Structure formats: structure tokens, C-alpha cells
Structure 1
Amino acid sequence: MRAKRVMNMILLILFVALMMLGFYTADARNAGGFWQGWHNILDFPGDVVSEAVTRAHLLPGYFLKYAPSLLETINIAGAATLLGAILGLIASLLATRGLAPVGWITGPVRRVLDILRAVPEIVIALILIFLLGGGPVPAMIAIALHTVGALGKLFSEVNENASLKPVEGLASVGASWLQRMFLGVVPQVAPNYLSYALLRFEINIRASAILGFVGAGGIGYDLRNTMSWGQGKLDEAAAIFLLLFATIVLVDQLSSHLRDRLTHGARVKGARQ
């Protein structure tokens, strides 16, 4: 225990030292410097709030103006989540030991999922924008690829807890691999699949809004334009912030309710059976 405590203390000191060194290095290379400008950190939010209060009567019109962009952002997130969940489900079955059709494929599929999770959506989106041009399609593909990596990992962990008895029973009557998976495994873990997919949908809404800053469409693109210095559209930026906040809170509450029904409802049903 003493050696463990000493090791933990050394790691903590090393972590704090690296964090402070990284902060001072970044501050030294920054154009303005953090210590010289930290007292101005609330200037921009203050300008946004003051303009929103001054032009509060215009906010309902701005809500209607940017509603189509918000809908586009939600559509990007929904399409990316659906595509990523389908591909992630298939990849998770291939990445789970005992479920893959051949044992050697598990390792390569897991490495592909690791790569998809490691590369940020914004990097993939920038590459696709260069190849395909700006718009919602690069954003959808970028988010979908990252979703495949994330959900594939989560789904494979869920698969490991599934009972293999139905799979063995189906194999004994000559069922194919797809039949064994979708009749013997997926029904057991479907509530967890849906729960993780809904959680990922929340994350993808925020990701699709962020990707708009790099020209990938949606409400993030409008937010970037309104937040540009000298545009005089800070009241519109406040309206977009309110729309995003309300949407994220609504989706979060709805998906949390559905996830609770899926997971706890499935447990109650299983206990009754």
C-alpha cells in the first residue's frame, strides 16, 4: 500500500507539472497572452447578451429564420447516427470473440474501429470538404464514420454479455451466420443497442453544429457568420444559441426518457419471465 501511494503521488506530481508546463508553453506562443487578456474574457458574451436584450422583439423572427438550418443540423445527426449504428452493429458482431464467422477477423475489425474513434470528426470533415465541397454530405459522412467506431466498440462490449445458447441452438439446425446473429444475439441486446444509439444521437447533434464552423452546413455555419467580428449580428447569434440550447435540452430529456424505458423496461420484463 505504501509503494502504491508513493507511485500515485509521483504520477500526480508528474501530471501537474506537465499540465503547468503545457499551459505556460501555450501561453508563451499565444499572440496576446492569457494573463494579459483574461480580464476581457466576458466582453464578447456580454456584447451578445446586451444586443439580445436590446433587440429582444426581433428574436422570434430570428427563430423562424434559422429553423431550417436547425432542421438540417438535426437531419445530419439523424442520418449519421442511423448509418453509423447499422455499420457499427455489423462491425461489433465481427469484433466479438465467439460471434465472428472466422476468428482471425476479430483483430483487424477492432483496429479499424480504433482508428475511426481516434480520428476526430472535424479532421474527416475537412478532408471531405476538400474532396466533395462544402455542404451537409461531408458532415454526415464524417460523423457517421466516427459513430461507427464509437458504437461498434460499445456494441461489441454488449455482445460479450449475450448468452450463446440461442446461437448454438440455431447452429444445430443449420442456420447461417446472419441468421444466428440476428435471431440469436440481436434480440437479447437490442435495448442496449437502442440506448447507446440514442445517446450517440445527442452527441452527433452537437458535433454537426460544430462542423458547421468549417463549412459543413447546418446551423453551425450560420452561427459562424453571425459571430464574425464586425458583422453586427450578435442578436442573431444569441437567437441561434437559444435554438441550439433548447434543441439539445429537448433531445437530451427525450432520449434519457427513452433510454430509461428501454434499459429498465427490458430488465423488468426479463425478471418477470
Structure 2
Amino acid sequence: MTDIPFDARAHYVEMTRRKRMYGGIMLAVFVALMVSGFMLADARNAGGFWAGLPNIFGFPADVIADTAPKVDQLPGHLVTYFPALTETLNIAAASTIIGAALGFILSLLSTRGMARWPRLIPVFRRIMDVMRAVPEIVIALILIFVLGGGPVPAMIAIAFHTSGALGKLFSEVNENADLKPIEGLASVGATWGQRMWLGVVPQVAPNYFSYALLRFEINIRASAILGFVGAGGIGYELKNAMSWGQGRFDEAAAIFILLFLTIVVFDQISSHVRNRLAHEGAH
């Protein structure tokens, strides 16, 4: 049997050509989707989408023009809207805590080697898929119709979505946990809850906390956005300030500043904590 010589250079050239071809196809698909999306937006907007693009910076210019003569009033506006910001943070914190607790339970019930009912693992995973798939704003709109406006619908909507998102992340962390402590606890008669609390939680707690902090940042933004549909918080105040139009844009600017500073501060704090957790975990 004659050995066929392997031409490394020809093989490399073929791989490069194939990679470029696939990259070109993906780029063409992406461009086609973008163009079709813009055309659909223009058609839905009665042909005003392309015509309105040159005015995209018109609103920021109006805000700056309206705020500049009243810049001395900004500190007062910051104080006025700070309670609304506190409400937004409370919504984000409560929904993150509730979502993390439910996600923790769902993650344990959907992880092989840890699940209380192994045959139901696919069921719990599909439940988390549904929770992640439904946007917060859709849930909030339904709850506002049923419960009325306010922070409670926003909190429930964000907590529902957070449960699915964190449940998925937590379950991936659980997959890397050592099962020997669980087996040892089972051998001495520990209940399922005791095995999870004593055998799993100590291993995964730093990663859980890191993911929960990251989700808290996301939930701050989500709770502000839900305010636009009547779910309370600083988003609701921003909607009102923008609805009044020119003359109240200085209040909108103050709310923008509050939101920006809050997101930056919490982003820095959570990033610092996550880095410390990762550094301690490495040691």
C-alpha cells in the first residue's frame, strides 16, 4: 500500500480559502439582513425612516440648548428625582434577590448529579428557557393591565426573567462542582437540601455572587426602561419630562445624569467585587 504524501502548504491554503469563503457568506447574510431590516423599518414608518436619519442628533441638541441657560437648576433637579432613582434601585435589588433565589433552586433541579428528580431535568430546563425567552417589557405590560401601574409589576417581570437567566448560568457553574462532597453527605444520611447546602453551595457561592452582581447591573437598566410603560421609578419620570417637550428638557437632562452616574458607579463596584472574587478563587 502506497502512502499518499501530505502537502501541508496545500492543506493550509485550502483551509484559508474555505475560511474566507465562509466569512464572506456570513458577511453577505449580515448585510442582507441589515438592508432588509432598514427597508422594513422605512416601510412601517410610512417612508419617514430614511428622511428622519439626518435629524437623529436633533433631540440631544434640543436638550443641550434647553439645559444650558438653566444649568444652575440642575442640582435641584437631581435632588428632586433622587427618590425616583431610589425606587428604581429598589426594584432592581428586589428582583435580583428573588430571581437569584429562584434561579438557584431551578439550577439545582436541572443539574445532573444534583437534581432531586432526575427525570424532570428536561422539564426544569424548558421552564428556564421560557423565562429567558419572554422579554421583561411583555410581562410588565401584562401585569400592569392586571395589577395597575407601579413598581410591583416591574419587580415581578424582572424577577421572572432574572430567574431564567441566572438559573441557566448557575446550572453551568454546578456542572463544574465536585460531586464527592455530595456523595459523602449522602452516605451519612443527609437530606437532599443538606447535601446541596453543605456540599454544593460552598464550592459555587463566589461564582453565584459574581453572576448575581452582573445581573443586578442589567436589572437597573431594565427597571429604568420599564418606567416608560408605567412601571414606576426614574424611567416614568423621564418619560413625563420628555413628553412635556421643550421647556422641560433640563429635567430630562438631570435624569439622564442621574442614570449615567448610577450605572457607572454600580458597574465599577460590581466589577471590583467580581475581580476580587475571581482573584481569591484563583488562589
| Normalised-by-shorter TM-score class | over 0.9
Aligned to 1:56: 71
Measure, in 2, the Cα distance between the counterparts of 1:37 and 1:15. Answer: 24
- Are 1:102 and 2:78 matched, yes or no? no
Q: 1: distance between equivalents of 2:244 and 2:237?
A: 14
CA shift at 1:102, angstroms? 1.9
CA RMSD of aligned residues (A): 1.3
Q: Distance in 2 between matches of 1:29 and 1:134?
A: 29
CA distance in 2, matches of 1:235, 1:4: 52
1:11 corresponds to 2:26: yes
Is 2:54 the counterpart of 1:39? Answer: yes
Contact residue 177 and residue 200 of structure 2 kept, 8 A = yes
1:4 CA displacement: 5.2
Match of 2:250 in 1: 235
Partner of 1:76: 91
Q: Distance in 2 between matches of 1:41 and 1:19?
A: 18
Query: What is the distance in 2 between the residues matched to 1:7 and 1:235?
Result: 50
- Structure 1: gaps spanning 5 or more residues: 269-273
Q: Does residue 1:129 correspond to 2:153, yes or no? A: no
Per-residue CA deviations over 1:6-50 (Å, capped at 9, x if unaligned) read 344333322321221221122122135232222211111111112
The Cα of 1:104 is off from its aligned counterpart by 1.0
Secondary structure of residue in 2 paired with 1:55: helix
Counterpart CA distance in 2 for 1:134 and 1:27 is 33
Q: Note if 1:113 corresponds to 2:113.
A: no
Alignment counterpart, residue 161 of structure 1, candidates 176, 197, 202: 176
Q: Provide, for residues 167-200 of structure 1, a one-character-per-residue CA deviation record: whole Å limited to 9, x for no partner.
A: 0100110101111011001110100000000000
Structure 2 unaligned runs (5+)? 1-14
Q: Determine if the alignment matches structure 1 residue 260 to structure 2 residue 275.
A: yes
Which digits, 9 at most, give the CA deviation of each residue in 1:135-166, with x for residues without a partner? 00000000000000100000000000000010
1:147 maps to 2:136: no
Letter of the aligned partner of 2:232 in structure 1? G
Question: Match of 2:9?
Answer: none
C-alpha deviation, 1:5, in angstroms: 4.3
2:250 partner amino acid: D
SS in 2 for 1:99: coil
SS in 1 for 2:108: helix
Task: Verify the 8 A CA contact 2:84 2:233 in the aligned structure 1.
Answer: yes
Rounded Cα–Cα distance in structure 1 between residues aligned with 2:202 and 2:69: 55
How many residues align? The count is 268
Moved more, 6-15 or 165-174: 6-15
Alignment TM-score, normalising by the size of structure 1: 0.95
Among all aligned residue pairs of Structure 1 and Structure 2, give the percentage whose two residues are the same amino acid.
Answer: 69
